[in-house]
Amino acid sequence: MKMLIIYYSMFGHIRTMAEAAAAAALEIPGVEVALRRVPETLNEAILTKMGALDAAKAQADVPVATVDELAEADAIFFGTPTRFGNMTGQMRQFLDGTGGLWAQGTLVGKPGGVFTSSATQHGGQESTILSFHTFLLHQGMVVVGLPYTFQGQMRLDEVTGCSPYGASTIAGGDGSRLPSENELEGVRFQARHLAKIGLKLKQN
């Protein structure tokens, strides 16, 4: 079962989550994982002004995704930061190129999930994931969230991301907060859950 983890990460938080998800999915026997990033749409001058150039260069080792890879995957896990309660423009531009897959019904029946990050605790994590789900539904995919069997989303002893819609992390206003162990365990749990569903669907 081929699982594709495709993400956009400006400052590295979502990449950290994506790498944790990839490692967790590989724990499931019979699962192959490909880690990909969507193309950057901002030039180096803008990334420099935003303080994101170093993080962008650090991801050069991750191959850039192609639309064809979506077609080849049996399960797809999408990661995107929040931008005003929605996905990033980079992710949106990539998804806007999947019209051919929609026309052919290529993604119908494939399981898909979403994970995200935001600067603040109430910065639009849930709306980002829920609005991303509309893409999955238009493509006929099976939406896979983060079940409450992941007890980490019930915690009250610390500030943390994660909801039944999907795993998430809080980056802080200056981006200095890294994903917590609880948040990483959330995305690992969701990745394993998605991989198991992908295996079951492929076997049928």
- pLDDT tens string 60-114: 899 999 999 999 999 999 999 999 999 999 999 999 999 999 999 999 999 999 9
- Work out how many domains the chain is built from and give that number: 1
Show the beta-strand stretches assigned E in the chain: 2-7, 32-37, 75-81, 111-118, 142-143, 168-170
Calpha distance 145→138 (Å, rounded): 17
Strand, helix or coil at 33?
Answer: strand
Q: From the annotation, which residues make up the binding site for FMN? A: 82-84, 138
- pLDDT tens string 10-56: 999 999 999 999 999 999 999 999 999 999 887 888 888 888 788 88
CATH code, 186: 3.40.50.360
Report pLDDT for 203: 86
Q: From the annotation, which residues make up the binding site for substrate? A: 102
The closest alpha carbon to 112, from 125, 95, 97, 124, belongs to 95
Q: Which residue has the tokens 């989550």?
A: 17
Q: From the annotation, which residues make up the binding site? A: 82-84, 102, 138
Which amino acid would we find at residue 202?
Answer: K
Whole domain around residue 195: which residue ranges?
Answer: 2-203
| 168 in Cβ contact with 160 (< 8 Å) | no
